[in-house]
Each structure stands twice: as C-alpha cells, then as structure tokens.
Chain A
C-alpha cells in the first residue's frame, strides 16, 4: 500500500472515531447518571483521532485530508441512526450522498 493510500485509510478511520466520540458525548447528555464515563470515552476517542490525523498529514495534503474529514458527518449520521435511533430523511440523505461524492473525488485527487 502506498504512503498516500495509508494516509487516506487513516483519514477514514479518523472520521469513524470522530463519529464514535460524538455519539459518546451525545449519550453523555442523554444519560446524566453515566455522563462522566461517556465524556471520558469521547475524550479518549478524540485524543486517538488527533494522533492518527497527525500521522495522516505526513502522507496526504491538508486540503485533501481536511475535506475528507467531512466523512465524519456521514459516520455520525450512520452511527446515530444505528445506536441512538436518530432519523435520516431524504434531504439529509442527499446531503450525505453529496459529501460522500466529494470525498471520493478528493480521494482520487490525492
């Protein structure tokens, strides 16, 4: 796998981790009795994301990496649908599709 491909994979992983961190913090607000645990989990996730994103930046242009980071919008939407029961209507789905299309194009440009 080329260095650039590794960088792109790292960015996708960062997006998923960010999705999990956002879900953790949302859960913290929904379950006040367990909020500290969920906030700590979110903070650990963000810490991991920072380390991986730094590694990704050694392999990919920031204009690509930052734009592809918008995959986190997609990750958050899917994870919140699966884990929290939040809904994705057609407009949100269309927006997520555009983001995915843009990310795919940026990945190809890397």
Chain B
C-alpha cells in the first residue's frame, strides 16, 4: 500500500511542478517579459516585512514599465528599451525566515519560474543560503535589505549589495560622536542593547569595537532574547547603568516593548541612537506616541530628502497609494534594489543571467539617479557598494528628519 500512496504523491508533486511551470509560460504569451524573483518572509513573525516589500517592488515595476516623469533610470520609458521594450515582472516566494526554505524557494524560482535574477531576503541567514544557491546556478543575487557584513566576504561572484552593511552603519554613528566631540559635547558612555540574532550580534560587535577605539565607555552590554514576554529586568539594568546614549538593535516587537517598559520604569536616557530595524517603523511611533520625540536612528533613507530630490516625494506618493504607508528605510532600499537590477538588465541587452551579472558588476549609477542619499552605486570586487552613505535621523513630532551628515542634514541635531 505504501507504493500506491507514493505514486499518488508523486503525481501530486508533478502536478504542482506543471502548475508552477505554467505560470511564466502564460505571462510570456502576453508579450516579452523578464522575470526576477523576490524572496521574503510572507508568513510568520516577520510577514509584514514581506507584505510591505511587495508594495515597494510593485511601485518600482510601475516606474520601470510605465512612463513617469522622474529622474530615475528607465522611468521615462515603457519597459526596458534595450530589450525592445520588454516588461519587467517579479514573482515572490515565501521563505518563512528559514535558511533551508529560502534556498529551496531560490532553486524553485531559478529552475521552474526561470527568473534571471534574485532579490531579497530581509534576514541575513536566509540571504546566506539563497545567495549560495544563486551562485551555483550562476544567477545574480542582489541583497536589497540584508546588512550582515559577513555576506559579501564569502568570495561569491554573483552576490551584490547596493546598500550599506552594519559596519558602515555603525561607523556613521561613531563619526557622529566625533562630530559632537568637536562641538564640545563629547559622548562619555553608551549602553548596548541588542537581540540574540545575527543582526544583533553583528551590530553590537562593531559598536563595542568602535567604542573601544574611541575611548567611549560601554557601561551596559545587554544581549536579550528576542520576542521575550517581558523586558523589565533588562530595562532595570539599563536604567542602573545610566548611560549617556542608549544604542538599541531591536526589531519592531522588542522595540515597542523596550520603549513601553522604559516609560513604565521611569527611565529616560539623555539620548537614544538606534540601529534602524524596529526604530524605522511607523508602527513603533504609533505605539509610543510622544515618548518617541528626539529618538535617533541610522538609516539609508529619509523622506525629507524630497526637499533636495523631487523624485523622492513622487515615488513616495506612488508607494503610499499602494500600501497606505510612507516609504521607510527598508522599503526605500527594496525599491532602489529593483531599480538597480532593472538598470543592469537593460544594459545587459540580452536579459541573460551571465550578462546581467556583468552589467551589475559594471554598474556606475550617480547618486542623484536614486531616491537615496548615496554618492553613487558602484560595486567593489566583493559586490559591495561602498559609496552609499548612511544617514542619521532624529524624530521631530510625527516624522524623522535628517540630522547627519551635514551634506544631507535638513535640521540641526537636538542634543542635551
């Protein structure tokens, strides 16, 4: 009886494969189309990230495939001009934040959906396995929103990352401290508060190292279990340490709990400088209200760039029409990744993975043709873009404003 069931199962499997293979075939019948794959968590604790990412990518596809009056590559044309106006499409897969599933979905997108490139993945652990799969199939992989520094140090030929990694982000924070020192407001002590994940560990390791180099005292070094039911004890330790700057590396859930617990225990540090993640989410500030005033975070993006770049405001409107939210650090990076990938596909002329990889490697996009505060997009031999300056934002009222570095700042930092 076992054989019978096995055969029936095999039938179901083949059926699934046929259904999967059928989808792009159908699309091709409607006109030439280039498909890239997006790997995101679409169920589980981080599902909202994937849902928002889809809106960001759909916005990018709209800009690429239709005529828009924006100073961005491919905006003014319909489709990809070098590929006789072929449209760009994306197909998404759910990796559920699991490295094994991420790899399986990457392989499925590559072999069944015939995607010519992959973008993803939010979690660095998933990017790790998915990018190795891409490498083995010689498919370019663009890390849109993964920030672990280890990712571009594995000698992969098909891995690219346009956005900063955690070391660059943290460097900017300490550059900011140097700047304060020059202004006669030196930072003496910091408290590290980070979750027990790759993100938390990478972030804290660099912060600890740079603090040591600059002679800033780390008065609390607190690693916590992510998604804990309570952070009361942790906040008590932060309060007792009483650092001048609290530097949290936390996702949305823990960021909300941290801030609420701080309010409950009467702890208000002189300054908070966050490693993005939860602190870039509007959800957090909806939850904590006025307590958010003055909170700082590192970022790759800020909405007030619209004052200097008109395209930022227009893209934000397009995104908001889809998602009901403003662009944030993550969704702006995702949008930009799609634009960079589309530009490379267009320059590849053939739309073949190897040609796209070479085109990506040759990318030299001036910063003003992105919605980011970056000098340019140009990948080094490891596939990392080193010309993407992070910025520091500070909360004013119901929005973030850019306060550092000076060339992008629209306001002076409020620092007590």
A, B co-complexed: no
| Chain A residues in the interface with B (C-beta under 8 A) | none
| Chain B residues in the interface with A (C-beta under 8 A) | none
